[in-house]
Structure 1
Amino acid sequence: MPLLARSVLTPLHIDVRRGAVADLAAILADGRISSGGDVAVVVGPGQGERIAELIKPSLGSADVFTAAGGTLEAADDLGGKLRARSYDAVVGIGGGKTIDVAKYAATRRGLPMVSVATSLANDGIASPVASLITDGIKGSYGVHIPIAVIVDLDFVESGSERHNRAGIGDVVSNISALADWELARQVRGEPVDGLAASLARMAAESVLSHPGDMGDDAFVTVLAEALIASGLAMAVCGTSRPSSGGCHEIMHAVDALFPGTASHGELAGLGALFCTFLRGDTQRLGQMASCLTRHRLPVTPAEVGLTDDQFVDAVIFAPRTRPDRYTILEHLAMSPSDVRARLADYAGAIRDHLG
């Protein structure tokens, strides 16, 4: 009999609403994840501790661990602590760094992981990828997709608005990543997974077309769901291809050469704009630039504190961050002088689009 369907790994439970965290114990029990609350709760230095106190009465058997820094060392250290007793699951509560540490440690221990996001800074809240720093360089590690994803809008609202806005840049960058994937198909015959591409594209389009802002629950819900969909897109095809192309190569290059410049989502959005310009897609360039500007996200190197020369260095270095990936950057194979000239043209194009 021919194969007429395929199995796709997805979270058992996804909950995006106000007050969701208060129901964590019930979610774990109803989902057969942990009926007795024997879980390892991993919190970050921000709102995670506050949430841990909130859920402690209903999860009396839980152990609480603190993870900071988003490093491979922190993830390995947490993995060692998880050997102390038998746990039903690992619950990561916090921003992207905390969740990535929890995802990696849980995977190494063979435990299911529950993602409780207090920030919408990037699509890591539901992805099968953990971004961790080792020797000062951020690397991507394959992990199991979270068994449940919870986004409590109350805690998102209490968090850093700048970090939450950054997630918009990460979702919008899907448009550029998908164009790079299609380019790789045309030039190198790389297969494109249609389902993964559809999920990533719908996520980006939902944010691009929504008229709301971070003060609007409807928009924040769409953003959270778009970030989750981006993570699912990666899980569907088993790679970060649907959400990571030249845009993320530039982001990783800036992180490596000029650490602390800006957040993941801010740099991904900027990288996506520049790559879209390089492809000559003026319609998408205007649409994406208008969206990022409306949400007060950077659209030029100067807006993230980079000089033109620094940005040129990052673009030249970018292909080295993902040697196996073919994007518009590898396709054009630009010299430093080429990038400098294109960057000048880009600045003019952005001024024209934004008036």
Structure 2
Amino acid sequence: MAVLTRLYPGPATVRIGAGAARELPAILADQRISASGRLAIAISEGSGTALRERLREQIPASAGWFTVPTASLDAAVALADQIRASGKPYDTIVGLGGGKVIDVTKYAAARLGMPMVAVVTNLAHDGICSPVSTLENDAGSGSYGVPGPIGVVVDLDLVRDAPPRFVRAGIGEALSNLCALADWELSHRETGEPVDGLAAAMARTPAEALLHRDGTIADDGFLTVLAEALVLSGLAMSVAGSSRPSSGACHEISHAIDQLFPAKAAQHGEQVGVGAAFASHLREDRGLADTLVEALRRHDLPVLPGELGLDTHEFVEAVAYAPRTRPGRYTILEHLDLSESDLVDAVKDYVDTYAR
């Protein structure tokens, strides 16, 4: 009997733990990713300098260091050009930092055709292991398909040093998978869009584990579960071949806020958390909406538009605009296709339901 399986890209190694970044050379050598130490390491212009000094004794002298000024397409192209122009025989690119550095490094690695390793210093979103780079461009921002990292290292010591708000935002990002999956299933029922069961399981299971997990970002155990949830969320996208398992109405709303009110934009994970709770309310899934709101409140994350710094009119405008950010994607927003007055009523009802 033939055995039918499928192959999907995933990292050769994932290491999550306190002090994990100090093990980077050994991890790369053990996994045959890079035994030479010829690493091109990308860091931010700000906190990256302190990271370089902190890891100076562990990183091989043969490594080259490159700074990433912004999370833009231009910066990603410039990084690739600088690495190529250096003339050094680098064999691996390492993104050392937060999501912006990692997104830029993933794109540069794809441009150069080199393997990329993500060394994560905060847990703000699931881009740490996804096949997507979200970069600013002339039109605002765009999502670019790239190979996912060949290795992921999450150093909990470095994560604890990140601003707590950034880390908490990752909770909203992971929990929003439950909204994205509900939208995917809705699209399957209404449009016949196929649902990849493996990708859905990889997105749902860690989100539910986090939803019911005790503890806070001060606990290593909780941080480990959060890191695993974000890694698996990225892998779910690789399996599905799109961001569908982790991006639904919640992300459409967040992207709309970014485009319409950039001066007021909060952390991505904060916005998608509110978007997920609101979309679940629209879907009349009171059980999920209540549970999401309780979890967001427990971790001091925003729930209401006002807690994002948006008034009712601005949030309504963002929700109305949201479907334009992902043309062709079918979510509860496209399904209901509410008029502006109906959206005003829906937002007011949501606020009245979940106001403290």
Q: CA deviation at 1:45?
A: 3.2
Identical positions, percent: 52
Secondary structure at the aligned position of 1:34 is classed as coil
1:5-55: CA deviations, max 9, x gaps?
111211011011001011111111111111111111000134332232344
Secondary structure at the aligned position of 1:232 is classed as helix
Q: TM-score, normalised by structure 2?
A: 0.96
In structure 1, how many angstroms separate the alpha carbons of the residues matched to 2:45 and 2:186?
A: 41
The one of 153, 175, 180 equivalent to 2:178 is: 175
Gaps of 5+ in 1: none
Residues 1-355 of structure 1 aligned to structure 2 (within 5 Å): 2=2, 4-57=4-57, 58-84=59-85, 85=87, 86-135=89-138, 137-260=140-263, 261-351=265-355
1:256-284: CA deviations, max 9, x gaps?
00014201100010111110000000011
- Conserved 8 A contact 1:90-1:114: yes
- Conserved 8 A contact 1:196-1:234: yes
Off by >3 Å, runs of 4+ in structure 1: 54-58
Aligned residues: 352
In structure 1, how many angstroms separate the alpha carbons of the residues matched to 2:321 and 2:20?
A: 42
Secondary structure at the aligned position of 2:66 is classed as strand
In structure 2, how many angstroms separate the alpha carbons of the residues matched to 1:141 and 1:279?
A: 30
Q: Which moved more, 1:15-24 or 1:84-93?
A: 84-93
What is the alpha-carbon root mean square deviation over aligned residues?
1.2
Residue type of the alignment partner of 1:74: A
Secondary structure at the aligned position of 1:271 is classed as helix
In structure 2, how many angstroms separate the alpha carbons of the residues matched to 1:125 and 1:104?
A: 13
Instruction: Give the 3 Å change call, closer, same or farther, for CA 3–142 of structure 1 in structure 2.
Output: farther
- Conserved 8 A contact 1:15-1:149: yes
Q: Which moved more, 1:236-245 or 1:132-141?
A: 132-141
Q: Which moved more, 1:96-105 or 1:42-51?
A: 42-51
Secondary structure at the aligned position of 2:142 is classed as strand
Residue type of the alignment partner of 1:135: D
Q: TM-score, normalised by structure 1?
A: 0.97
In structure 2, how many angstroms separate the alpha carbons of the residues matched to 1:302 and 1:21?
A: 38
- Conserved 8 A contact 1:12-1:31: yes
In structure 2, how many angstroms separate the alpha carbons of the residues matched to 1:243 and 1:70?
A: 21
In structure 2, how many angstroms separate the alpha carbons of the residues matched to 1:79 and 1:161?
A: 31
Instruction: Give the 3 Å change call, closer, same or farther, for CA 150–46 of structure 1 in structure 2.
Output: farther
Secondary structure at the aligned position of 1:169 is classed as helix
- Conserved 8 A contact 1:208-1:291: yes
In structure 1, how many angstroms separate the alpha carbons of the residues matched to 2:46 and 2:219?
A: 23
In structure 2, how many angstroms separate the alpha carbons of the residues matched to 1:263 and 1:342?
A: 24
In structure 2, how many angstroms separate the alpha carbons of the residues matched to 1:40 and 1:215?
A: 32
In structure 1, how many angstroms separate the alpha carbons of the residues matched to 2:110 and 2:338?
A: 39
Residue type of the alignment partner of 2:287: Q
